[in-house]
C-alpha cells in the first residue's frame, strides 16, 4: 500500500487554477448558500426513509405544524424491523408492528410513496433505490441510515444522517453540511481468483482501520474498480462508512449507465439524453487534488475474514490473528477485550474454525449477483449438518428474480433457508438473531459486539467464503475449492 498526503486543503475551491474532483463537482452544484466560518446549506435530491429512524422526525414536523416540503423527492420502505418469514401475516411483535404502522400513517399523511410490506418493490432501502433506478449519478442522497454510502457507487454524494437531520430534510429538502476532506483510494491491477469486492473493502479496512477515513469523502478508482459490476461497486461504497468516511463514491461509466437504463424510475427519451450529458461530466479531473491518496495493488488482496469486533479487524483467510507483540501498547486493552468476546487467543489461525451459522444478506451482499454467485458454488452440494444457513434477499424483486432463475431450488436442495426481504440478522432487530456464543460467518457489514444478537460472534466475509463455510461447516479458503474456470469476477 502506498500513500500520498497533500497539504493543499480541499477547503480551497477548485476554481483556483486546479481541476475539480468528482465530489467537488457534485457538491458545488448543490450548495444553496454557505455561512461564513460555518457549514453550507446543501440541497438534497433524494431522501430515503424507513421505519426505525423516521418516526421522531415526523413527530417533530407535526409538533411544528409543518408538512413535508417536497414529498415527491422522498421514498419510503420498511426493512429494519420486518420479519423475514410469513410477511403476509400481521407482525407479531407489538413494538415492531407499531413502528411499521407509524411509517404507513406518516407517509399517507404527507403524500410520500411507500413500498411497504407486501409491495412488489419492498426491500432494504439501499437495495431498492438502485434497482428501481431512483439512485442516479450526480445526485445528493440521504437516509437515516449509515449505509446510505452504498448509493455512491453510481457517482453521487450519498450519506447517512441522524433523525434530527431527517426532520430537517423533510422540512426543507436541505441540510447544514461542512465540506469534508477528500481522499482517493486507487486499486490497480487484476484481482486474484476467488477475490470479490467484499474482500477489496475488507482489505482496505484492515489497512486503514475503522477510523481511517473519518472526516473524508472517499473516491474509489483504478482499473480493478472499473472492472467491477454495479452490484460489486455497491458493496465497496456500502462499507466506506466502516472506515468512518462521510461518503464513498465511484465515477459513473458505461457500466453505470447500462445498469440504470430502462429501470422503473430511470429517465426516458429527451430527459435521458439530458441526464447523460450531465453524467458524462462526472469524474475527477486529471489535475484534481485530494488531501490524501492511497494506492493498492489488486494482486495483494486475498479472500478476507474478520477476527475481531470492528470491521477494521480483518485478515486474509489463511492468516492468523495478530499476536500481542504486534499490537500497539495503547490499543492492547481494546484488542484483548475484542478477542475475549470472540473466544479466541492472540496469534490463532482462523482457517479451520468451526462455524454455527451462515448469514447471506444485508445491504452489503444481498443482491441478485450475490445470490447467483452463492448458487453457482453450492449447486449440487449440501450444507454441513450442524450449520444453519439463512439467505435473505435484499428485496422483493431480488427474491422474484431468484425464484425465476431457479436459485430457490438450488438453495432448498442445499439445505439453505431462503427467507423474505429485510435487514434481518445484519442487526438482529427482528427475531433473526444469532444465539449467544455461536459463530456466524456473515456477508453483512458489522461485526460489533452483540450486533447479530447479544453475545453472538460475527465473522465478516464475502458471499463465496460464506457459502464455502456453509458447505464445510468451517472457515476455509475459497481459492482451494473454487476452480478457475467457474470464476465469476465480482
Partner 1 sequence: MKKGINIIRSTAVPLNIENVDTDQIIPARFLKATNREGFGKNLFRDWRYENDDESKPKKDFPLNNPVYKGKILVAAKNFGCGSSREHAAWAIKDAGFDVVVSSFFADIFKNNSLNNFLLPVTVSEKFLQKIFSVFDSNPSEELEVNLTSQTIKIISSGETESFDITHYKKTCLLNGYDDIDYLLSSKEDITKYELENKF
Residues 386-425 that bind partner 1 (CB under 8 A): none
Here's the x/- map for partner 1, 326-355, by CB under 8 A: it reads as ----xx-xx--x------------------
Examine residue 116 and tell whether it contacts partner 1 (CB under 8 A): no
Which among 173-181, 249-257, 349-357, 393-401 is the span making contact with partner 1, rule CB under 8 A?
173-181
Give the 3-state secondary structure percentages of the chain, helix then strand then coil, rounded to 5: 35, 20, 45
Show the cell assigned to 390.
439463512
> What is the distance between the alpha carbons of residues 108 and 386, in angstroms, rounded to a whole number?
46
Helix and strand numbers, DSSP H then E, in the chain: 16, 20
- DSSP secondary structure code for residue 78 in this structure: -
Binding residues for partner 1, rule CB under 8 A, total 72
Of 50-58, 109-117, 353-361, 368-376, the segment contacting partner 1 by CB under 8 A is: 50-58
* Binds partner 1 by CB under 8 A, chosen from 428, 442, 460, 461: 428
Least Å distance between CB 428 and partner 1? 6
Q: Which of residues 210-239 bind partner 1 (CB under 8 A)?
A: 210-211, 214-215
Q: Which of residues 24, 79, 131, 165 is near partner 1 by CB under 8 A?
A: 165
Based on C-alpha coordinates, what's the Rg of the chain? Answer: 22
SS3 225: helix
Contact code string over 9-48 relative to partner 1, x by CB under 8 A: --------------------x--xx-xxxxx-x-x-----
Shortest Å distance, C-beta 451 to partner 1? 5
Closest contact distance (angstroms) between CB of 60 and partner 1 is: 8
CA 103 to chain centre: 23
Q: How crowded is the C-beta side of 369, counted as CA atoms within 13 Å?
A: 21
Phi, psi of 19 (to 5 degrees): -70, 170
Phi and psi torsions of 216, nearest 5°: -115, 150
Nearest to 459, CA basis, from 326, 297, 339, 286 = 339
Alpha-carbon gap, residue 368 to 376, rounded angstroms: 12
State yes or no: residue 459 binds partner 1 (CB under 8 A). no
- Subset of residues 285 to 314 that bind partner 1, contact rule: CB under 8 A: 310, 312
For the chain, how many residues are written?
490
Q: Does the footprint of partner 1 cover residue 99 (CB under 8 A)?
A: yes
Of 189-197, 261-269, 360-368, 448-456, which segment contacts partner 1 by CB under 8 A?
A: 448-456
Measured from the CB atom, is 163 or 376 closer to partner 1? 163
Amino acid at each position: 500500500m502506498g500513500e500520498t498526503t497533500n497539504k493543499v486543503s480541499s477547503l480551497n475551491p477548485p476554481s483556483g487554477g486546479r481541476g475539480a474532483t468528482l465530489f467537488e463537482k457534485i457538491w458545488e452544484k448543490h450548495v444553496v448558500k454557505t455561512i461564513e466560518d460555518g457549514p453550507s446549506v446543501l440541497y438534497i435530491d433524494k431522501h430515503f426513509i424507513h421505519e426505525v429512524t423516521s418516526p421522531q422526525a415526523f413527530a417533530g414536523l407535526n409538533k411544528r405544524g409543518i408538512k413535508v416540503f417536497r414529498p415527491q423527492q422522498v421514498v419510503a420502505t420498511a426493512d429494519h424491523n420486518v420479519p423475514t418469514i410469513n410477511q403476509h401475516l400481521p407482525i407479531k411483535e407489538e413494538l415492531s408492528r407499531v413502528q411499521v404502522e407509524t411509517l404507513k400513517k406518516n407517509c399517507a399523511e404527507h403524500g410520500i410513496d411507500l413500498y411497504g410490506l407486501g409491495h412488489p418493490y419492498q426491500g432494504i432501502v439501499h437495495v431498492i433505490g438502485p434497482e428501481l433506478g431512483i439512485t442516479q449519478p450526480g445526485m445528493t442522497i440521504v437516509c437515516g441510515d449509515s449505509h446510505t454510502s452504498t448509493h455512491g457507487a453510481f457517482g453521487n454524494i450519498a450519506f447517512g444522517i441522524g433523525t434530527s437531520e431527517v426532520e430537517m430534510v423533510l422540512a426543507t429538502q436541505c441540510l447544514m453540511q461542512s465540506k469534508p476532506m477528500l481522499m482517493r483510494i486507487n486499486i490497480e491491477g487484476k484481482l486474484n481468483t476467488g477475490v470479490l469486492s467484499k474482500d477489496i473493502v475488507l482489505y482496505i479496512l484492515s489497512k486503514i482501520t475503522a477510523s481511517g477515513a473519518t472526516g473524508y469523502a472517499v473516491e474509489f478508482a483504478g482499473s480493478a474498480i472499473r472492472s467491477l459490476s454495479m452490484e460489486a461497486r455497491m458493496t465497496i461504497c456500502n462499507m466506506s462508512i466502516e472506515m468512518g468516511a462521510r461518503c464513498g463514491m465511484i465515477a459513473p461509466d458505461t457500466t453505470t449507465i447500462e445498469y440504470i437504463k430502462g429501470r422503473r424510475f430511470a429517465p426516458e427519451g429527451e430527459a435521458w439524453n439530458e441526464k447523460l450529458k450531465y453524467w458524462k461530466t462526472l469524474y475527477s479531473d486529471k489535475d484534481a487534488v485530494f488531501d490524501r491518496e492511497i494506492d493498492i495493488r489488486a494482486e495483494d488482496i486475498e479472500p478476507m475474514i474478520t477476527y475481531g469486533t470492528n470491521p477494521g479487524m480483518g485478515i486474509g483467510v489463511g492468516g492468523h490473528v495478530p499476536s500481542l507483540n504486534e499490537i500497539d501498547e495503547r490499543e492492547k486493552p481494546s484488542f484483548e477485550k475484542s478477542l475475549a468476546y470472540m473466544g479466541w487467543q492472540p496469534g490463532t489461525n482462523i482457517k479451520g474454525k468451526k462455524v454455527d451459522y451462515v448469514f447471506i444478506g444485508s445491504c452489503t451482499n444481498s443482491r441478485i449477483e450475490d445470490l447467483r454467485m452463492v448458487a453457482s458454488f453450492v449447486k449440487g452440494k449440501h450444507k454441513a449438518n450442524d450449520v444453519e444457513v439463512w439467505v435473505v434477499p435484499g428485496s422483493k424483486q431480488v427474491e422474484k428474480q431468484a425464484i425465476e432463475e431457479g436459485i430457490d431450488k438450488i438453495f432448498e436442495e442445499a439445505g439453505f433457508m431462503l427467507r423474505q426481504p429485510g435487514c434481518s440478522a445484519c442487526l438482529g432487530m427482528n427475531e433473526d438473531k444469532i444465539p449467544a456464543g455461536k459463530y456466524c460467518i456473515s456477508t453483512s457489514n458489522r461485526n460489533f459486539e452483540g450486533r447479530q444478537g447479544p453475545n453472538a460472534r460475527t465473522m465478516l466475509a464475502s458471499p463465496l467464503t460464506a457459502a464455502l463455510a456453509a458447505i464445510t461447516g468451517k472457515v476455509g479458503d475459497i481459492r482451494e475449492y473454487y476452480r478457475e474456470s467457474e470464476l465469476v469476477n465480482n
